[in-house]
Amino acid sequence: MRQIVSGILAVNLIWGTLACSDQTTSNTQTQLTPELAKGKDIVDNNCVVCHSQAINGAPILGNKKMWGERINQGIEVLSDHAINGFAGMMPPKGGNTDLSDDEVRLAVKYMVSLVEGQ
């Protein structure tokens, strides 16, 4: 019985790892550039709540399907939406008006890099 339970747990662990792998990018496996590292820090401290749970339609970090059409608009449009807010759902600067425009741009570059790679 223990062997069966252990086997099931092992399969679930492997399945969970594989299920998450299409959202994982090389950025988590390699060292980030200083610019992307700063962007990651900003994302981790300001953006991750909405962008990890798709709150108000926020594209989930690393999800190629959710980011695809957005990325096609270009980094400048995405940065503008993040800085100034978008569609009444994304507040300006994610609600943290203490962030500079350049910091928001770094966060956007980092989020895009999760889909496109460095």
User: What pLDDT, in 10s, does the model give residues 12-41?
Assistant: 434 343 344 444 444 444 689 999 999 999
Asked whether 61 and 43 are in contact (CB, 8 A), the reply is yes
Residue 24's pLDDT is: 42
- For residue 46, pLDDT over 80 is answered with yes
- For residue 116, pLDDT over 60 is answered with yes
Asked whether 27 and 36 are in contact (CB, 8 A), the reply is yes
Average pLDDT over residues 74-100: 96
Other beta carbons less than 10 A from residue 2's beta carbon: 6
Other beta carbons less than 10 A from residue 60's beta carbon: 17
Residue 57 DSSP code: G
